[in-house]
Amino acid sequence: MLLFSDDERLLEKLSQLGNPLERLDKTVKWAMFLPILNRIFGNSEKDPSKGGRPPYNYLMMFKILLLARLYNLSDEAMEYQLLDRLSFRRFVGCDDERVPDAKTIWLYRERLSKSGKEQKLFDCFSSMLEEEGLLAHKGQIVDASFVEAPRQRNSRKENKQIKEGKVPEDWDAPKRSQKDTDARWTKKGDQNHFGYKNHVCVDSKSKLIKNFQVTAANVHDSNVLAELCDTHEPVFDDSAYVGKPVPEGCKHYTARRPYRNTPLTDVDKKFNRKLSRIRCRVEHVFGFIENTMKGSTFRGIGFKRAKTNVTLTNLMYNICRFEQIKRLNLNTWA
């Protein structure tokens, strides 16, 4: 069994090697989230006369939910990793005798989803980014990415009823609880996708996510363009957004595409090359989510839970990007 001094020695060794979780913990002022968490989860002071264990620290549980999104871990895997890894426990602020189990982690995420206030946590961090001058407001890039959900094995008749907003009559309560009637099928290229979409608006200089919308996977990218964009900033997007309106005062730069009997001209190709140098920055965002954060996936059921999942993913990305900007002093635009 490791002694306390052994734990400290191992943690010091991790710090020397460059522990990314330690860098995150030192860079972010986590206390900014506490007022919102207290409003979401209620009074953290338990009446001692009622007995029982006191509730877990809200900030600790919030950091556990973020950590699960950073490494794309299920609740069961998150519990195991908290028990197994010193760096995880140090990051969230708990010891090996007070590690919440998978059911508790699920419960806190469920309470967050039911509150409908997860957006306030994202907005809280965005306000801090604004105060730090890290949102340049010199342009915004819009794009979308699929969020894959567990695939449903329904009959064609059942899928038709679901699309009509109905629930098949032969589904009993247990079966309904395991069926995601909010997610949708769609096809892109030769690949079928089932689940939701994460539509993002990214600051063109900082590569921070300024705004986002969550929809079913079959909703076209361009349908939420106006909702995503801020006013009075240039908008950069691909050809899927051709002809779609943007907020008043925004210049709209959309990739040009060829049509039958109307190929791209040399001027069009030159314009697209210049635009791609800007637009590629949004691919860096999705690349981080897909590779470093181990993918944009959703293990739950229903739109509310999917929205919470995407919100935590986007927030965790912004936190990691914020730490990188601070560490490498990249905010030369400020």
Q: What confidence tens digit (pLDDT) does each residue in 311-334 have?
A: 999 999 999 999 999 999 887 755
pLDDT tens per residue, range 185-202:
999 988 999 999 999 999
Convert the pLDDT of each residue in 28-37 to its tens digit.
999 999 999 9
Return the structure tokens found at 184: 């949708």
Residue 44's pLDDT band (boundaries 50, 70, 90)? low
Q: What is the pLDDT of residue 1?
A: 46
C-alpha distance from residue 232 to each of 133, 136, 138, 264, 290 (Å): 18, 13, 9, 29, 31
Q: Is the pLDDT of residue 291 over 70?
A: yes
Q: What pLDDT was estimated at residue 105?
A: 97
User: Average pLDDT, whole number, for the chain?
Assistant: 90
Q: What is the pLDDT of residue 2?
A: 45
Residue-level pLDDT at 46 = 53
The tens digit of pLDDT for each residue in 160-185 reads 888 888 888 888 888 888 899 999 99
The model's pLDDT over 78-101, given as tens digits with 9 standing for 90+, comes to 999 999 998 999 999 988 778 999
* CA-to-CA separations, 90 to 1, 93, 242, in angstroms, rounded: 18, 5, 48
Domain range list for the chain: 4-115, 134-303
Question: In angstroms, rounded to a whole number, what is the distance separating the alpha carbons of residues 225 and 43?
Answer: 39
Mean pLDDT of 241-259: 90
How many Å apart are CA 160 and CA 1, to the nearest integer? 58
**What pLDDT shows up at residue 173?**
85
Decide which of 299 and 331 is more confident: 299
Phi-psi category of residue 111: left, alpha or beta, with phi > 0 → left and psi -120 to 50 → alpha: alpha
Per-residue pLDDT of 125-171, as tens digits, reads: 999 999 999 999 999 999 999 999 999 888 888 888 888 888 888 88
User: % helix / strand / coil in the chain, to the nearest 5?
Assistant: 50, 15, 35
